[in-house]
Amino acid sequence: MDLGIRGKRGIVCAASKGLGRGCAEALAEAGVDLVINARGAEALDTTAEAIRGRFQVRVTVVAADVTTEAGRAAVLAACPDPDILVTNAGGPPPGLWSDWSREDFIKALDANMLTPIALMQAALPGMMDRGWGRVVNITSQSVKAPIPALGLSNAARTGLTGFVAGTSRQVAPRGVTINNLLPGIHATDRAVALDDGVAEAEGLTREEATARRQATIPARRYGAPEEFGAACAFLCSVHAGFIVGQNLLIDGGATNATL
Ligand code: NAP
């Protein structure tokens, strides 16, 4: 399917690895010129080079922490008028509800709620003026069903979801859509780190910890960043203009819910 977005300009945040990289690759395959971001310059350059080599699109790198004002300013300076914005950042650390201080909450809210909101506030006016735009926020399955050890994530991402629910309806009349993608467990560095943590805590090997988690997913495997990226590219396509303010779970059926 031709996604109809060849030549558009897109920003993909936190994209040197994992789900962000999957989204960047799928958009590049559809012909989108990209600004990609991550903190570490080396992995970011390697990813950019790989994308340029495979898809012959323009890829600009911005090595910066997107959860800071300066980082966001640098990303937006490299692409002041994006047609497509994919927001993403690292997730908050695990813990128990009673562990966290006000500062911990502010940090999580900054990274996983206020950063995507600030990026949208910067990008939406231009998209609305031009009569076309696509925003996809990478959130988490924890928005639909809370993950007990990830209370900071549950809280921050649900706040973002509320903002998107209202705002997406306000910008839709001008040809701009905002939707959220809710990943379940995907085979990325983050999933490996979580498996390592469980393995260490419970005296298992990483393989045992992985197999145990895979057994909880109806698809009996972890998701691949490539298939996550394909869903993102579709939501950014010309075919997705009637999909507004939705929260799409990509979790292999792990969230046991009717709706
Ligand atoms: P990942 O494989 O660890 O990759 C994270 C990417 O984000 C890297 O490119 C990293 O590069 C970049 N990054 C992290 N913090 C950043 C920051 N402050 N500014 C700019 N770039 C940053 O992670 P992932 O699995 O793709 O996860 C992406 C998001 O989805 C996270 O918020 C995660 O919590 C959420 N999620 C993931 C899963 C899963 O199973 N993978 C499930 C649910 C939710 P640098 O470190 O160099 O900055």
Which of 13, 19, 47, 247 for mutating ligand 1's site (highest number of atoms within 8 Å of CB)? 19
Say if CB 222 and CB 118 are below 8 A apart. Answer: no
**15-36: average pLDDT:** 98
Using a pLDDT cut of 70, give the percent of the chain over it: 100
- At residue 86, the pLDDT reads 99
Contact residues of ligand 1, CB 6 A cut-off: 14-20, 37-40, 43, 65-67, 88-91, 138, 140-141, 183, 185-186, 188-191
- At residue 190, the pLDDT reads 83
Kindly give the number of the ligand 1 atom that is closest to the alpha carbon of 17. Answer: 9
pLDDT in tens, 201-237: 999 999 999 999 999 999 999 999 999 999 999 999 9
Could you give the CA distance from residue 26 to residue 53 in angstroms, rounded to a whole number?
A: 14
Q: Encode 32-47: b = buried (16+ Cβ within 10 Å), e = exposed.
A: bbbbbbbbeeeebeeb
Could you give the CA distance from residue 255 to residue 219 in angstroms, rounded to a whole number?
A: 11
Does residue 186 come out as left (phi exceeding 0), alpha (psi in the -120 to 50 range) or beta?
beta
Could you give the CA distance from residue 106 to residue 108 in angstroms, rounded to a whole number?
A: 6
Say if CB 74 and CB 119 are below 8 A apart. Answer: no
Closest residue by Cα to atom 37, ligand 1, is 183
Say if CB 188 and CB 246 are below 8 A apart. Answer: no
Ligand 1 centroid–CA 65 distance in Å is 12
pLDDT in tens, 82-138: 999 999 999 999 899 999 999 999 999 999 999 999 999 999 999 999 999 999 999
Confidence class of residue 194 from pLDDT cuts 50, 70 and 90?
confident
Taking every pair of Cα atoms in the chain, the longest distance, rounded to a whole number of angstroms, is 57
Q: C-alpha 46: how far from its chain's center? A: 20
Which of 21, 34, 36, 39 for mutating ligand 1's site (highest number of atoms within 8 Å of CB)? 39
User: Which residue in this structure is represented by tokens 């003026």?
Assistant: 129
Could you give the CA distance from residue 39 to residue 179 in angstroms, rounded to a whole number?
A: 25
Ligand 1 centroid–CA 229 distance in Å is 14
Which of 88, 137, 249 for mutating ligand 1's site (highest number of atoms within 8 Å of CB)? 88
- At residue 53, the pLDDT reads 98
Residue 151 corresponds to which tokens in the numbers above? Answer: 């209370």
Ligand 1 centroid–CA 129 distance in Å is 31
Could you give the CA distance from residue 164 to residue 158 in angstroms, rounded to a whole number?
A: 10
Closest residue by Cα to atom 11, ligand 1, is 38
- At residue 118, the pLDDT reads 98
User: Which residue in this structure is represented by tokens 């969230």?
Assistant: 255
**2-26: average pLDDT:** 98
Any idea of the CA torsion for 46, 49, 55, 56, to the nearest 10 degrees? 170
- Amino acid identity of 201? A
Question: What sign does the CA torsion over 23, 27, 239, 177 have?
Answer: positive
- At residue 258, the pLDDT reads 93
Ligand 1 centroid–CA 17 distance in Å is 7
Alpha-helix residue ranges (DSSP H) falling in 66-171? 69-78, 102-109, 115-130, 151-171
**244, pLDDT greater than 90:** yes
Q: In sequence order, what are the beta bridge partners of 62? A: 37
- At residue 55, the pLDDT reads 98
Closest residue by Cα to atom 13, ligand 1, is 14
Residue 32 corresponds to which tokens in the numbers above? Answer: 């989108």
Could you give the CA distance from residue 154 to residue 16 in angstroms, rounded to a whole number?
A: 24
The chain-wide mean pLDDT, for the chain, equals 97
